[in-house]
Amino acid sequence: MNQSLPLENDPLAKKITLVSSETIACYGFDPIFGHPKIYLNIPLDTEVKCPYCSRIYLRTDLV
């Protein structure tokens, strides 16, 4: 029997957050224990990775 882990339990799965804004603020996965708040500029249809937490933001008009 072939079983696979759900994506939310897979540590190697990419965590992608879809956004519609050109500039977003990232403070990590938790506002209390995260990293310093930084602002990231995201061109349309491009993804940007936060240098602190590696969260990936993808800007699209579909959001």
pLDDT score of 9? 59
| Burial of 59 per CB tally in 10 Å (0-12, 13-18, 19+) | buried
What is the per-residue pLDDT across 3-57, written as a single tens digit (0 to 9) for each?
Answer: 444 455 555 566 899 999 999 999 988 778 889 999 999 999 899 999 999 999 9
pLDDT score of 12? 54
pLDDT score of 10? 58
Give dist(CA 42, CA 49) in Å, integer: 10
Which amino acid appears at position 63 of this protein? V
Statement: residue 58 has pLDDT above 60: yes
Task: For the chain, give every domain's residue range.
Answer: 13-59
Per the DSSP assignment, residues forming a β-bridge with 48 are: 57
CB atoms within 10 A of CB 26: 21
Class of domain 13-59: mainly beta
Query: Is this structure's pTM higher than 0.75?
Result: no
